[in-house]
C-alpha cells in the first residue's frame, strides 16, 4: 500500500513545477546586476565608452601652439643695436568648420561606444538567462527523474516479494531492474550536465567557475499571455536594438568623415608672434636697444588635389559600407525575431497542452493502473509504461518552460527590451 504514498512525492513535484515564486525572479535580477558589476567584458566595454568620451575634447580643441627660441650664434648688428635672441610663438588654426566636424565625429564614436556597451550588456544577459533556463530544466529533470527512480525501486521491492512467493516471474524482476538501471543512467547524465552550465554562468558573473550555484526552483514571470505580432515588434527594431543604434552612429560618424575629407581642399592658417631681443647700439641713437616685434600669418597650400580626391572617395565608400552593414544586421535581426516568436508560440502551446491536458490524464491513468496493479488487474508492464509516460511528459513540460524563457530572452536580445514592456 506504499505506492500511493510514494505517489504523493510526484504530486509535490507537480505543485512545485506549476507554482511561481517572485523571489526567484528577483534572484535572477540580482544575477544580472552582478554581471554589470563584475563581468570583465562589460567592464571593458564601459572603459572603452569612457575613453571615447574623453576624445571629444581632444578632437575639438586647437592644436598645441609652438614656441621657439633662437640665439644668434653671431649677433646681427643693426642700426638700433645687435640682435641677440629671438622668441616666437605660433598657433595653427584649421579652416572654419574642421574642428567642429572633428568634434562631431568624436561625439558620434562616443555614442557608438555607448550603444556597444548596451549591446554587450544585452548579450551577456541573454547568455545568462539562456543558461539560467537550462539550469532550471536540469534541476527539474533531476528532481523528476529521481522521484520516478524511487517509485521504480519501490516497484522492484514489490516484484521481488512476489517473485519470492512465486507470484511473479524472474523475467519480471530482470525487466524492472533494467528499467531502474536505464533511469539511473539518465539521472547520472542529468547530474553531470549541471557543472558545465554552472561554470559558464559563473564566468559571466565574474566568479570562479567552480563556485557552487543552486538550481532555480522556478522561472521568472515573463509577461502577459498575449500573442506578439511580428510587424509591430519589427517596427521598434531601429529605435531600440543597441547593435543597430551603434551602426547608426557609425554611419553618422562616417558621413562626418566625408565632410572632413571635403574640407581638406581648403587651407589651414598659422598665426605667429616673434620677439627679437636687441642690445644697445655701439653708437647709441634714440631707438637704440629697442626690441623688434613681428606678427606673422601663413597658410598651407593644398595643391595635391589627387590625394584629397582619393580621401573623399574613400570616405564615400566607408559611408556606403556602414549603411550596407546596418541593413544586413537589421535583416538578420528581423529573421532572428521571426524565429524567436515561433519558438515562443511553440513553447506556450506545449505548456498549455501538457499542463491542462496531457499530464492530468497521465496522472489519472497512472493512478488507475497503480490501483489495478495492487489488486492484480494490471501488470507491472502496464505500470512501468504509465510511469515512463508521465516521466516524459513532466520532463517535456519543464523543457517547454525553459524554452519559453529562452524564446523571450531571444526576443529581448533583438528588441533591446522586454516585448511586454509598455512604451
Q: Tell me the average pLDDT across 192-214.
A: 93
* Residue 208, domain member (yes or no): yes
The dihedral region occupied by 416, where left means phi > 0, alpha psi between -120 and 50, and beta the remainder, is left
Could you read off the pLDDT of 14-46 as tens digits, one per residue? Answer: 333 333 333 333 478 889 999 999 999 999 999
What whole-number percentage of the chain has pLDDT above 90? Answer: 58
User: Residue 1: what pLDDT?
Assistant: 31
Q: Tell me the average pLDDT across 136-150.
A: 92
C-alpha cell at 254: 562616417
C-alpha cell at 5: 504514498
* Residue 169, domain member (yes or no): yes
Could you read off the pLDDT of 235-289 as tens digits, one per residue? Answer: 888 888 999 999 999 999 999 999 999 999 999 999 999 988 877 766 676 767 6
> Which residues have CB under 8 Å from 334's CB, separation 6+?
234, 237
* Residue 111, domain member (yes or no): yes
Could you read off the pLDDT of 79-112 as tens digits, one per residue? Answer: 666 778 889 999 999 999 999 999 999 999 999 9
**Cβ-contact 256, 108 below 8 angstroms:** yes
Crossing angle for the helix pair 380-415 and 2-18, nearest 10 degrees? 10
User: Residue 308: what pLDDT?
Assistant: 92
Q: Tell me the average pLDDT across 342-367.
A: 92
Q: Quote the pTM value.
A: 0.80
Picking from 200, 204, 138, 195, the residue whose alpha carbon sits closest to that of residue 401 is 138
C-alpha cell at 227: 500573442
User: Residue 167: what pLDDT?
Assistant: 67
Distance between CA atoms of 18 and 11, rounded to whole angstroms? 11
Domain that holds residue 16: 2-38+94-266+302-415
Confidence of residue 400 (pLDDT cuts 50, 70, 90): very high
Could you read off the pLDDT of 288-342 as tens digits, one per residue? Answer: 767 788 899 999 999 999 999 999 999 999 999 999 999 999 999 999 999 999 9
CA dihedral 362, 367, 369, 374 (to 10 degrees): 160
- What is 137-166 written as a DSSP string? HHHHHHHHHHHHHHHHHHHHHHHHHHHHTT
* Residue 163, domain member (yes or no): yes
* Residue 321, domain member (yes or no): yes
* Residue 192, domain member (yes or no): yes
Picking from 361, 413, 411, 405, the residue whose alpha carbon sits closest to that of residue 137 is 405
Could you read off the pLDDT of 146-197 as tens digits, one per residue? Answer: 998 998 888 888 778 777 777 667 877 888 888 899 999 999 999 999 999 9
User: Residue 162: what pLDDT?
Assistant: 76
Which helix (H) or strand (E) segment holds residue 68: the answer is: strand 66-78
Picking from 40, 58, 37, 38, the residue whose alpha carbon sits closest to that of residue 48 is 40
* Residue 240, domain member (yes or no): yes
Q: Tell me the average pLDDT across 362-369.
A: 90
Total domains, the chain: 1
**Cβ-contact 388, 182 below 8 angstroms:** no
Query: Does residue 119 surpass a pLDDT of 70?
Result: yes
CATH number for the domain harbouring residue 182: 1.20.1600.10
| Partners of 69 in the β-ladder | 87
* Residue 398, domain member (yes or no): yes
Mean pLDDT of all residues belonging to the chain? 85
Distance between CA atoms of 415 and 221, rounded to whole angstroms? 19
User: Residue 404: what pLDDT?
Assistant: 92
Amino acid at each position: 500500500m506504499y505506492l500511493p504514498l510514494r505517489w504523493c512525492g510526484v504530486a509535490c513535484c507537480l505543485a512545485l513545477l506549476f507554482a511561481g515564486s517572485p523571489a526567484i525572479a528577483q534572484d535572477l535580477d540580482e544575477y544580472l546586476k552582478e554581471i554589470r558589476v563584475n563581468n570583465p567584458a562589460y567592464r571593458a566595454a564601459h572603459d572603452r565608452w569612457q575613453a571615447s568620451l574623453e576624445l571629444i575634447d581632444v578632437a575639438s580643441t586647437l592644436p598645441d601652439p609652438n614656441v621657439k627660441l633662437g640665439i644668434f650664434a653671431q649677433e646681427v648688428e643693426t642700426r638700433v643695436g645687435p640682435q641677440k635672441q629671438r622668441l616666437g610663438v605660433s598657433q595653427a588654426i584649421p579652416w572654419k568648420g574642421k574642428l567642429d566636424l572633428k568634434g562631431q565625429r568624436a561625439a558620434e564614436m562616443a555614442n557608438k561606444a555607448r550603444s556597444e556597451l548596451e549591446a554587450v550588456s544585452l548579450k551577456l544577459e541573454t547568455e545568462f538567462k539562456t543558461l539560467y533556463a537550462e539550469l532550471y530544466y536540469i534541476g527539474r529533470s533531476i528532481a523528476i527523474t529521481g522521484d520516478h527512480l524511487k517509485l521504480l525501486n519501490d516497484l522492484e521491492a514489490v516484484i521481488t516479494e512476489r517473485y519470492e512467493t512465486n507470484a511473479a516471474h524472474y523475467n519480471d524482476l530482470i525487466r524492472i531492474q533494467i528499467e531502474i538501471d536505464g533511469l539511473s543512467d539518465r539521472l547520472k547524465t542529468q547530474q553531470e550536465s549541471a557543472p558545465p552550465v554552472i561554470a559558464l554562468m559563473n564566468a559571466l558573473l565574474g566568479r570562479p567557475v567552480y563556485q557552487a550555484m543552486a538550481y532555480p526552483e522556478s522561472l521568472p514571470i515573463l509577461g502577459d499571455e498575449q500573442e506578439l505580432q511580428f510587424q509591430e515588434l519589427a517596427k521598434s527594431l531601429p529605435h531600440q536594438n543597441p547593435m543597430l543604434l551603434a551602426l547608426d552612429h557609425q554611419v553618422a560618424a562616417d558621413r562626418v568623415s566625408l565632410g572632413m575629407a571635403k574640407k581638406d581642399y581648403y587651407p589651414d592658417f598659422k598665426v605667429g608672434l616673434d620677439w627679437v631681443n636687441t642690445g644697445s647700439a655701439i653708437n647709441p641713437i634714440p631707438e637704440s636697444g629697442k626690441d623688434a616685434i613681428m606678427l606673422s600669418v601663413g597658410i598651407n597650400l593644398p595643391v595635391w588635389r589627387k590625394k584629397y580626391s582619393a580621401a573623399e572617395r574613400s570616405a564615400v565608400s566607408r559611408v556606403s559600407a556602414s549603411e550596407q552593414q546596418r541593413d544586413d544586421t537589421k535583416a538578420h535581426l528581423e529573421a532572428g525575431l521571426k524565429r524567436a516568436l515561433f519558438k515562443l508560440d511553440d513553447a506556450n502551446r506545449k505548456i498549455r497542452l501538457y499542463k491542462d491536458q496531457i499530464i492530468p490524464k497521465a496522472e489519472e491513468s497512472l493512478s488507475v493502473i497503480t490501483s489495478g496493479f495492487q489488486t492484480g488487474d494490471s501488470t507491472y508492464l502496464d505500470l512501468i509504461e504509465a510511469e515512463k509516460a508521465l516521466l516524459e511528459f513532466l520532463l517535456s513540460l519543464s523543457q517547454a518552460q525553459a524554452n519559453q524563457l529562452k524564446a523571450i530572452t531571444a526576443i529581448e536580445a533583438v528588441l533591446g527590451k522586454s516585448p511586454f514592456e509598455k512604451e
